[in-house]
Amino acid sequence: MIYFDNAATTEVDKEVIKTMIDVLENTYGNPSGKYYDQALKANKIIEEAREKTAKFLNSEEDEIIFNSGASEGNNHILKGVALENKGCHIITSNLEHNSTLKACMDLEEVGYEITYLKGNSLGVISLEDLKKSIKSNTKLVSIIWANNEIGSVNNIKGILQICNEKNILLHVDATQMVGKRKIDLSDFKIDFLTFSGHKIYGPKGVGVLYIKRDRYGLFPDLKPLISGSQEDDQRGGTYCTHNIAGLGKAIEVLENIQNKYIENLNNLEGYLLEKLEGLPLTLNGYNKDSKVPGILNIQIPGVNNEIFIKENSEMLALSTGSACSLSKPSHVLENIGIDKFKIRNSIRISLGKKNTIKEIDEFINILKKYI
Which residue stretches of the chain are H helix?
A: 14-26, 37-57, 70-84, 98-109, 127-133, 156-166, 241-276, 305-311, 331-335, 340-343, 357-370
DSSP state of 179: T
DSSP string over 205-266: S-EEEEE---TTS-PPS---SS-SSTTTTTS-S---HHHHHHHHHHHHHHHHHHHHHHHHHH
> Strand pairing partners for 140?
90, 169
Helices 70-84 & 98-109, crossing angle to 10 degrees?
30
For the beta sheet containing 282-283, the strands, ordered from the edge strand earlier in sequence to the opposite edge, are: 282-283, 295-299, 346-350
CA distance 257 to 178: 13
In the chain, what is the straight-line distance between the N-terminal and C-terminal CA atoms, in Å? 21
163 is catalytic: no
Is residue 117 within 8 A of residue 93, CB to CB? The reply is: yes
Catalytic residue among 88, 104, 240, 324: 324
Is residue 301 within 8 A of residue 280, CB to CB? The reply is: yes
Is residue 244 within 8 A of residue 251, CB to CB? The reply is: no
Catalytic residue numbers? 324
